Amino acid sequence: MKYRKFAGKEISILGLGAMRLPINGADIDEKEAIRLIRAALDNGVNYIDSAYVYHNQQSESLVGKALADGYRDKTYIATKSPVWMVHTAEDFDRLLDVQLERMQTEHIDFYLLHSLNKGAWEKTLKLDLMGRMEKARQAGKIGHIGFSFHDNCSVLEKIIDDYGKWDFCQLQVNYIDTDGQAGLRGWQYAASRNVPAVIMEPLWGGKLANPPKSVRDIFEEAAPGRSAVEWALDWLWANPAPHNMIALSGMSTVEQVIQNCEYASRAPEEIDQAVIEEAQKAFKEKKLIPCTGCCYCGCAQGVSINSNFDFYNEAHIYERDENARNSYTNMVRFQGPNSQAKNCTSCGACEELCPQHIKISEEMPKVAEFFAAK
């Protein structure tokens, strides 16, 4: 495992995101998830990221259990305050105390305001949540102060400059999604203000782990045997932006943990950018819907938004039309009678919650039309 100086600490260049832990039905598979987290720590990972809402509010408690038996001393933990659940300044303190109890710790090393955008930042200023963050640090409850972000670059710049004392931030960047949200420009801006970045979605919700055949062929020709996952992670680790960053991966199997830790142990300082550019071009020709499967959106009608987009993308990106159609048909059986795209009412409520800012009400009819056709 390689390490870099990050906010004054020696942090592994690979962090573990506790948002896609192994599950058993609707719940976390506790035994397997604990095994996964401990495997990561045993292989050199020393940064674990969770949030109040991950896994239906089960993630923080699971992380707390996994860090028993001496494992807490091996890692830095990060979690996030759900700003949308904070209606008064006192709510901030109450939720933080719940998180400390869940994680079985007296101190959270890296604490973030979760999913900031323009509106959430205005709310943060109105309620003086930065003052609350600073008081929590003075009380020893939290360490480094940061935020995760889902909006455009101009909003990111304002948030960074308005407070001016951020210890770190968390941004979404990968070699395909370089211009979405704050993107690469935002990462560079944060670096210019001495705000190190945790980079989330390095595999774009898993899409870059198993890219289209045209992309796999490009990678195989350039470096036989080197996986698409390693290309994606290496692009971040070797990025010309300052190297004060962590690549945060939501790994869901022990095998993925072992593999990614191996990649992190041999991360390069440079990467063949011409190969990446060729892969970018081939990938973008597929015109996918940029859903990462975070499931923040929800649907009052019962439409399974991420599954509909997954099956649509499967048909178009990976040319598995028949498999995708079978999966779409079986949604009713496994995910409920209203789960298919045709039941979308275009109410738009989900769009307010989507971190990717997808026009779901416009995309869902396309999905319904595609799967209705023979």
**Amino acid at position 51, single letter:** A
Report the alpha-carbon distance of residue 323 to residue 320 in Å, rounded. 6
DSSP secondary structure of 47-108: EEE--TTHHHHTHHHHHHHHTTTTGGGG-EEEEEE-GGG--SHHHHHHHHHHHHHHTT-S-E
Contact partners, residue 71, CB within 8 Å, separation at least 6: 37, 38, 41
Phi and psi at 17, nearest 5°, equal: -90, 125
Per-residue model confidence as pLDDT tens digits over 250-270:
999 999 999 999 999 999 989
Question: What pLDDT score does 374 carry?
Answer: 63
Question: What pLDDT score does 112 carry?
Answer: 98
Question: What pLDDT score does 124 carry?
Answer: 97
Question: What pLDDT score does 371 carry?
Answer: 86
Q: Which of 3, 47, 52, 54 is catalytic?
A: 54
Per CATH, is 3-283 categorized as 3.20.20.100?
yes
Report the alpha-carbon distance of residue 131 to residue 360 in Å, rounded. 36
Query: Is residue 16 classed as helix, strand or coil in its secondary structure?
Result: strand
**Cα 188–189–194 angle (5° rounding)?**
95
Token pair for residue 66?
């996994």
Low-confidence ranges of the chain (pLDDT < 50): none
Question: What pLDDT score does 95 carry?
Answer: 98
Question: What pLDDT score does 326 carry?
Answer: 83
Phi and psi at 27, nearest 5°, equal: -110, 160
Question: What pLDDT score does 319 carry?
Answer: 64
Active site residue 3: no
Which pTM does this prediction carry? 0.84
Question: What pLDDT score does 318 carry?
Answer: 66
CA-based nearest residue to 207, from 89, 312, 97, 62: 312
Phi-psi region of 107 (alpha: psi -120 to 50; beta: other; left: phi over 0): beta
Q: What is the helix (H) or strand (E) element at residue 259, kind and residue range?
A: helix 254-265
Cα 185 to chain centroid distance, Å, stands at 18
Per-residue model confidence as pLDDT tens digits over 312-356:
887 877 666 777 888 888 888 778 888 898 999 999 999 888 887
Report the alpha-carbon distance of residue 371 to residue 36 in Å, rounded. 37
What residue ranges of the chain are covered by domains with CATH 3.20.20.100? 3-283
